[in-house]
Amino acid sequence: MNLFIDIDGVLLGRSPITSKPALANDAHKFLSFCLDNYSCFWLTTHCKGSADTALDYLRPYADEAFLTLAQKIQPTYFKTFKTEALFGDYYWIDDQPTAYEFQFLEETDALHRWLQINTRKNFDGLNEILKFLKKTHPTAKSLPSKHLR
């Protein structure tokens, strides 16, 4: 199954301590699980055909271990709307699709494939998505304890 991942409001949220952009809580654990169990793709305005721009954008917020994981995510390309890049059996993790993207999901009976998260408001939001992904992925591998905080 394909997993399409946004950056802002998903992997990058707002720190509850500093109110500045920061890597969301448990982003390492989240990305490890996703990469072990899904075919992962960037679906962000920071990646339109090249994963390098997404990695460069994340670099100020992430350590090398996280960036090593993030390098494994495949790029996507879209001209105007992120929905142009969706394909196959998928989930799309995003904080704020556009009105047109919502319409596309509704018209293609795929609204259930959008997983809503906003780590600017809920810095622990990745854990909620992770619980859902573990439940819905029948062959999901559990993470060894070394991946947990």
Per-residue confidence (pLDDT) for residue 143, from 0 to 100:
45
pLDDT in tens, 17-55: 999 999 999 999 999 999 999 999 999 999 888 899 999
pTM for this prediction: 0.90
CATH architecture of 2-147: 3-Layer(aba) Sandwich (3.40)
Per-residue confidence (pLDDT) for residue 48, from 0 to 100:
80
pLDDT in tens, 118-145: 999 999 999 999 999 999 876 655 444 3
pLDDT in tens, 55-112: 999 999 999 999 999 999 999 999 999 999 999 999 999 999 999 999 999 999 999 9
Q: What is the 3-state secondary structure (H, E, C) of the chain?
A: CEEEECCECCCEEECCCCCCEEECCCHHHHHHHHHHHCEEEECECCECCCHHHHHHHHHHHCCHHHHHHHCCCECCCCCCCHHHHCCCCEEEEECCCCHHHHHHHHHCCCHHHEEECCCCCCCCHHHHHHHHHHHHCCCCCCCCHHHCC
